[in-house]
């Protein structure tokens, strides 16, 4: 019977590490963006929800790919950091293509939030696909 749960320690290590990394990314991402999504979300700002959720989903895709393809926890951490850096760059790239994105998200303009979230999700999908080796 114990053969069935032989991989449980590795699962717990990767899953626990992944949750910690995801929480750290969410906190760091909100701190790095000029409009601080978490405070805006608590205030009921739908644009901030769209942007932040896109970033979280966009990061979870490469995070999952890194977990599936890494050979060790250290390898997983390295690829998770790469995925996070790519997503932060994507935020600033999305902002460069639309004028005043932080202000527009802060004011609740859903188009700006959806744009940033959509770019993050698309970049995250590409990022995840490129992490297979």
Per-residue model confidence (pLDDT) at position 7 = 87
Dump pLDDT digits (tens) for 56-99: 999 999 999 999 999 999 999 999 999 999 999 998 898 899 99
- Cα dihedral 5, 22, 84, 78 in deg (nearest 10): -40
Per-residue model confidence (pLDDT) at position 36 = 85
User: H or E element: which one contains 17?
Assistant: helix 8-32
Cα–Cα distance measured from residue 99 to residue 105, given in angstroms and rounded to the nearest whole number: 11
Cα–Cα distance measured from residue 97 to residue 28, given in angstroms and rounded to the nearest whole number: 23
Q: Which two tokens stand for residue 129?
A: 């696909």
Cα–Cα distance measured from residue 13 to residue 10, given in angstroms and rounded to the nearest whole number: 5
Per-residue model confidence (pLDDT) at position 62 = 95
Per-residue model confidence (pLDDT) at position 79 = 94
Q: Which two tokens stand for residue 1?
A: 């019977």
């Amino acid at each position: 019977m114990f053969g069935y749960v032989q991989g449980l320690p590795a699962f717990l290590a990767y899953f626990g590490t992944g949750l910690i990394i995801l929480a750290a990314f969410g906190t760091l991402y909100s701190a790095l963006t000029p409009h601080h999504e978490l405070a805006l979300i608590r205030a009921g700002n739908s644009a901030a929800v769209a942007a932040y959720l896109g970033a979280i989903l966009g990061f979870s895709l490469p995070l999952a790919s890194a977990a599936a393809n890494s050979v060790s926890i250290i390898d997983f951490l390295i690829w998770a950091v790469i995925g996070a850096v790519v997503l932060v760059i994507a935020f600033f790239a999305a902002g460069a293509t639309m004028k005043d994105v932080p202000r527009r998200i802060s004011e609740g303009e859903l188009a700006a939030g959806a744009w940033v979230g959509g770019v993050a999700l698309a970049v995250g999908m590409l990022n995840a696909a490129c992490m297979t080796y």
